[in-house]
Amino acid sequence: MMNTLHVAETSQPPPLPPQEEINAFKSKVKQWIGIDEEISKLESRIRDLRKLRNKQLEPEITGFMRQFNISDINTDSGKIRCNARNTKECLNKTNIRDNLSQVLTNPQDIDKAMECILQNRPTVTRYKLTKPKPKKK
């Protein structure tokens, strides 16, 4: 008895869907592109407004409020409060290495621990549509 491999079944492309499904798909792609472009424009405007609010206005307002010991301001839009919040900085390689060196004395152990931490992070696969930016000529 002879063993044969049937490649022909898997090498053929799948049959094309009906034209109405292709048209519906094209319509969805066009709609996605339109929405993506609109979101891009709005995000750009939001970025500019946030930059103005967070980098220019907020430091000036909070500085004034702290200087004159003002905790709350009543406005037509409601109360604005100047809060102080302490947060931890993000972990990074330098921070992790510095903290490990306080516990471990052997540089090889520190390197081994760093490699273990960085290499053994779980990997998650997510699928997202993106639109590459056109190349400039």
Instruction: Give residue-wise pLDDT tens across range 39-71.
Output: 999 999 999 999 999 999 999 999 999 899 988
Q: What is the reported pTM? A: 0.52
Residues 82/66, Cβ–Cβ less than 8 Å: yes
Place of tokens 């709005």: 42
Instruction: Give residue-wise pLDDT tens across range 66-106.
Output: 899 988 888 898 888 888 888 888 888 888 888 888 888 88
pLDDT of residue 31: 96
Burial 51-63 (b: 16+ CB within 10 A, else e): eeeeeeeeeeeee
Confidence of residue 129 (pLDDT cuts 50, 70, 90): low
